[in-house]
């Protein structure tokens, strides 16, 4: 069964450093998403991406964040200058459609620890 | 602010019993409703989706939707210890998912 994959599974970085989180969405999916979950809190939407453009972003997704689809398979989230409060699990998700039947499938996540 | 509310639990049920989970949402424009299961330290796993009022059954799971009351529920029949997890309700008006905080379910043998 196709699945979303993410690398690395765990990333430790120093405050102020740049990190890139990588995702390979399900191959026939066209819509891609990043979510994050701070320990003990709700899963929060960051950004959605379709046709090489951001289609929606949350207030969390400020100028420190960017997304890119550098090739036909990868989807990346970059945090330019990490802060302590960026420590969280970051989940990539993908879906075949948007709209009503928007079933999103999540990858295993990357645990980001900012020291 | 669009909210999705769930009782945090834990909801403790004996093995073989029915677990009943509830979720309310604030955005009347919501069109799609999902239940995800999340084991500790793992990612959300989609287990049910429902789009219209009424019941939808899939194996031991039944989702129920009442748009007028802005209420969606999940029943887990014949609960097994492997069902012990946090169940997340998520709603969308078409793009981003808005999640509730989850209900922790403990199934005791």
Q: State residue B61's pLDDT score.
A: 98
The predicted-structure confidence for A13-58, as pLDDT tens digits, reads as follows: 999 999 999 999 999 999 999 999 999 999 999 999 999 999 999 9
Chain A nearest CA to B85, separation (Å): 14
pLDDT of residue A88: 98
Tokens of B79: 């609960």
Q: Mutate which of B5, B97, B99, B104 to disrupt the A interface (most A C-beta within 10 Å)?
A: B97
Cα(B84)–Cα(B12) distance, rounded to whole angstroms?
9
Over 80: is that where the pLDDT of A5 sits?
yes
**The predicted structure's pLDDT at residue A32:** 97
For residue A88, give the chain B residue with the closest CA: B41
- Interval A91-98 mean pLDDT: 95
Decide: residue A59, CB within 10 A, 0-12 exposed, 13-18 middle, 19+ buried.
exposed
CA atoms B7, B5, A79, A54: torsion sign: positive
pLDDT truncated to tens, each residue of chain B (109 aa)?
Answer: 789 999 999 999 999 999 999 999 999 999 999 999 999 999 999 999 999 999 999 999 999 999 999 999 999 999 999 999 999 999 998 789 999 999 999 999 9
List CB contacts (< 8 A) between B36 and chain A: 106
- The dihedrals phi and psi of B82, each to the nearest 5 degrees, come to -70, -10
CA A72 to chain centre: 16
Q: What angle do CA B19, B25, B27 make, to 5 degrees?
A: 160
Type and span of the H or E element at A82: none
Q: Cα dist. B53→B26, B31, B77 in Å?
A: 16, 11, 20
**Any idea which residue has 């550098």 for tokens?**
A70
Identify the residue with better confidence: B62 or A102. B62
Tell me whether A25 touches chain B (CB under 8 Å): no
Contacts of B51 in chain A (CB under 8 A): 100-101
State whether A104 and B102 contact (CB < 8 Å).
no
Q: Which residue has the higher pLDDT, B94 or A93?
A: A93
The pair phi, psi for residue A31, each rounded to 5°, is: -115, 135
Our measurement of the distance from residue B41's CA atom to the centroid of its chain's CA atoms, rounded to an integer in Å, reads 18
DSSP string for residues in chain B? ---EEE----EEEETTS-EEEEEEES-TT--EEEEEEE-TTS--EEEEEE-SSEEEEETTEEEEEETTTTEEEEEESS--GGG-EEEEEEEESSSS-EE---EEEEEE-
pLDDT at A99 over 90: no
Residue in A13, A9, A61 with CA at minimum distance from that of residue A33: A61
pLDDT digits (tens, 9 = 90+) for A54-77: 999 999 999 999 999 988 889 999
Does residue B43 contact residue A91 with C-beta atoms inside 8 Å? Answer: yes
């Amino acid at each position: 069964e196709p699945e979303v994959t993410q690398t690395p599974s765990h990333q430790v970085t120093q405050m102020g450093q740049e990190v890139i989180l990588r995702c390979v969405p399900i191959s026939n999916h066209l819509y891609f998403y990043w979510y994050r979950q701070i320990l003990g809190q709700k899963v929060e939407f960051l950004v959605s991406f379709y046709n090489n453009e951001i289609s929606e972003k949350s207030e969390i997704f400020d100028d420190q964040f960017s997304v890119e689809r550098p090739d036909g398979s990868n989807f990346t989230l970059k945090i330019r200058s990490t802060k302590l409060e960026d420590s969280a699990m970051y989940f990539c998700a993908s879906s075949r459609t948007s709209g009503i039947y928007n079933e999103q499938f999540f990858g295993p996540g990357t645990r980001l620890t900012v020291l | 602010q669009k909210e999705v509310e769930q009782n945090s639990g834990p909801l403790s049920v004996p093995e073989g019993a029915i677990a009943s989970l509830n979720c309310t949402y604030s955005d009347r424009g919501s069109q799609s409703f999902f239940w995800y299961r999340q084991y500790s330290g793992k990612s959300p796993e989609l287990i049910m989706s429902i789009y219209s009022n009424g019941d939808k059954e899939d194996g031991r799971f039944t989702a129920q939707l009442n748009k007028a009351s802005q209420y969606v529920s999940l029943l887990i029949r014949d609960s097994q210890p492997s069902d012990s997890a946090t169940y997340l309700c998520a709603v969308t008006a078409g793009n981003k998912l808005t999640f509730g905080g989850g209900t922790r379910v403990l199934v005791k043998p």
